Amino acid sequence: MLKNYIITNIGQLMGILPKETLLLKGEEMGHINALHNAFMEVEDGQIKSFGLMEVCPETDAQIINIHGDWLMPGFVDSHTHMVFASSRHNEYVMRLQGKTYEDIADEGGGILNSAKKLQDLDEDVLYKNALKHAEEAMSEGTLALEIKSGYGLTVDAELKMLRVIKRLKNNLPIVIKSTFLGAHAFPAEYKANHQGYIDLIINEMLPVIAKEELADYIDVFCDKGFFNVEETNQVLVAAAAIGLRAKIHGNELGLTGGVQTAVDNNALSVDHLEHLSDVEINYLLNSETMPVILPGSSFFLKIPYAPGRKMIDAGLPVCVASDFNPGSSPHHNLWFTWSLACLYNGLMPAEAFNALTINGAYALGLSESHGSIAIGKKACFIQTRSFESINEIPYWFAQSHAKKVWY
């Protein structure tokens, strides 16, 4: 990709924020700063300057005229399970026949099904599958990404997943963050011995992860039927000792203390939140933990949507992510997620835009380099056609509007 260039005749340059803005919350989320008829100058892969076309500087850099198209910061997808063995379309059919996600898990499907398939799969095949998904997501405008382990659930298979994520990090031109989710579910052989599996995570997995620098964050599925609060705390405390900050799966299946556990451990984010009362909202208000909502999984599982409107009205920041995974959200198209967040979580189009960009960046610790247009930030943008208004973008649901991606 080009390193030095000027993009000219940008119809609308969206998502301009002061560089020190790390996230937007409450009412702030309803505004998008934009310039009409603008230029942007990029040097060494970073934004050097931008402004109105009248003041476009004369330089030797290559000029790229985009003739009125729009430009926005790349999406940041802060929650995916992009490394997996294969699709789970059989379970999809079971659900169409009337079975619930929990029924399917009880019958050995769900996460344990993914884990079994992944344990048997060669690392190179796993890598190639994930690479294809990552490249597709990039072409749609996802220009920073988190990927979790959690379909291994044995020492070897969890490490295999994390090594695949590390290869993706090394080989793709976008920033990828790796999250260790060994505590995704209890393997069948530990069903009656939870402590045995927690000990395996703490004593066998975490030390190798620390030594080989295989993860940036730790995640635990803290929910009904998975890890309880006490079990979650044990894993988080051990992970914090090797420098891994938490990003928690919480409150998907009930009011089970996931939010409080996340905040008490100073988690960077707590994700899902389909079940959220005023107690959790107040707890989040006094924290640095980003609430992340995942409308794709609510849509696919036909479960309640997280109360995004209520959260923003209460003054919280909200981030939206895809939750791309083979069981509950087999999609990574954040344009569709944008539409879902508006239609079902109650966000306005501008709020959902900020949720997918600057707040997504915060949920990955990337606000200083990603998520908005600011001098010094990484030059990673989405070029779209022009629209009558930003409100038109999520209206055209289920299509990618990325005409070109820049990174």
Return the number of the residue (158 or 323) whose C-beta is nearest Zn ion.
Answer: 323
Smallest separation, CB 346 to Zn ion (Å): 21
Site string for Zn ion, 199-238 (x = CB under 5 A): ----------------------------------------
8 Å CB contact between 354 and 328: no
Crossing angle, helix 334-344 and helix 349-356, to 10 degrees?
Answer: 140
What tokens appear for 263 in the block? 């905040």
Residues touching Zn ion, count (CB under 5 A): 1
Q: Which residue is nearest to Zn ion (CB)?
A: 323
Query: Judged by CB under 5 A, which stretch of 7-15, 205-213, 305-313, 316-324 contacts Zn ion?
Result: 316-324
Smallest separation, CB 196 to Zn ion (Å): 24
Smallest separation, CB 118 to Zn ion (Å): 15
Report the alpha-carbon distance of residue 260 to residue 229 in Å, rounded: 9
Smallest separation, CB 270 to Zn ion (Å): 12
Smallest separation, CB 274 to Zn ion (Å): 12
Return the number of the residue (11 or 360) whose C-beta is nearest Zn ion.
Answer: 360
Is 13 in a helix, a strand, or coil?
strand
Smallest separation, CB 280 to Zn ion (Å): 18
Return the number of the residue (23 or 294) whose C-beta is nearest Zn ion.
Answer: 294
DSSP string of 14-73, one letter each residue? E-B--TT-----GGGGG---EEEEEEEEEETTEEEEEEEGGGPPP-SSEEEE-TT-EEEE
Return the number of the residue (77 or 323) whose C-beta is nearest Zn ion.
Answer: 323
Helices (H) then strands (E): counts for the chain: 16, 15
Alpha helices in 109-264 (DSSP H): 110-119, 123-140, 155-171, 194-200, 206-212, 229-240, 258-264
Question: Burial level of 327, CB count in 10 A (0-12/13-18/19+)?
Answer: buried
Torsion on CA atoms 251, 253, 360, 331, rounded to nearest 10: 180
Smallest separation, CB 68 to Zn ion (Å): 38
What tokens appear for 322 in the block? 């895809």
Return the number of the residue (42 or 76) whose C-beta is nearest Zn ion.
Answer: 76
Handedness of CA 14, 9, 70, 80 (dihedral sign): negative
Q: Tell which positions 6-45 bind Zn ion, by CB under 5 A.
A: none
5-14 and 34-43: which strand pairing? antiparallel
Report the alpha-carbon distance of residue 387 to residue 392 in Å, rounded: 7
Site string for Zn ion, 172-201 (x = CB under 5 A): ------------------------------
Q: Tell which positions 318-357 bind Zn ion, by CB under 5 A.
A: 323
Return the number of the residue (323 or 351) whose C-beta is nearest Zn ion.
Answer: 323
Return the number of the residue (223 or 323) whose C-beta is nearest Zn ion.
Answer: 323
8 Å CB contact between 258 and 282: no
Site string for Zn ion, 246-275 (x = CB under 5 A): ------------------------------
Return the number of the residue (216 or 323) whose C-beta is nearest Zn ion.
Answer: 323
Query: Judged by CB under 5 A, which stretch of 15-23, 96-104, 227-235, 317-325 contacts Zn ion?
Result: 317-325
Report the alpha-carbon distance of residue 56 to residue 213 in Å, rounded: 44
Smallest separation, CB 390 to Zn ion (Å): 28
Return the number of the residue (91 or 323) whose C-beta is nearest Zn ion.
Answer: 323
Interface residue list for Zn ion (CB under 5 A):
323
